[in-house]
Structure 1
Amino acid sequence: MAPGRAALEVSPLPGGRSGIRARGEISVLTRPSWEQALTQLARRHAGVSYVELSDVAFVDVAGVTALALTAMNLPDGRVVVENPPPQLPRVLEMFWPDLDRIEVAS
């Protein structure tokens, strides 16, 4: 990764779990990739989808918004966010305190 350039890698979860794993940062520079990954996640959603973020260093408010909107627009079920950066649960609590479609698991 070049200095001053943000990068985001998104891949399917291993082991047959439904969901994605992200690595890098979710910001204005990487938002198109993040939103595309969330669109694909929603298309494959079947009850519970997992979003593994242990290798994400930062997610901005717009990135959390994209995740929240994806979860709210699912026909059923929920999204389980695993090991997010600390700002993600804070932003969810601040703007969507009653959103039960997202479960944060540390």
Structure 2
Amino acid sequence: MTALEVMPLPDRPGVRASGEITAVTRSSWEDALAELAERHTDVSFIELSDVAFIDVSGATALAVTVMDLPAGRVVVERPPSHLPRVLEMFWPNLRIEVTPR
């Protein structure tokens, strides 16, 4: 069984995730994204350097969250290498800035 841990970033608005984002952990991921969206103002950060894998449903949850934000943008930091390609392929005009590993 894969585990996912998501916690607030201590120094800026956003969250840090570690583990894997899959069907098993999707509800925790979606809960964390919902909380992020509630607190979002101008820029939110999602730190993913300790995430080994994010499946398409996890990427979809991220994309839907960003699309539902009224304004601002989301910075995804150091995601798994496949995530930027998936986001660009399915949601090319999202307000997501990706900082690669």
Alpha-carbon separation, structure 1, partners of 2:28 and 2:39: 17
Partner AA of 1:9 in structure 2? E
Alpha-carbon separation, structure 1, partners of 2:74 and 2:20: 19
Bigger Rg, structure 1 or 2: 1
Structure 1 residue 67: deviation in Å? 0.3
Q: TM-score, normalised by structure 1?
A: 0.92
Correspondence 1:72 to 2:72 = no
Match of 2:52 among 44, 51, 57: 57
Q: TM-score, normalised by structure 2?
A: 0.97
Number of aligned residue pairs: 100
Per the alignment, residue 105 of structure 1 pairs with: 99
Structure 1 residue 14: deviation in Å? 1.4
Structure 1 residue 87: deviation in Å? 1.2
Partner AA of 2:55 in structure 1? D
Alpha-carbon separation, structure 1, partners of 2:93 and 2:72: 15
Alpha-carbon separation, structure 2, partners of 1:21 and 1:54: 8
Per the alignment, residue 8 of structure 1 pairs with: 4
Q: Deviations over 1:18-49 (max 9, x none)?
A: 00000000000000000000000000001000
Q: Deviations over 1:43-67 (max 9, x none)?
A: 0001000000000000000100000
Give the percent of matched residue pairs that are identical in Structure 1 and Structure 2: 68
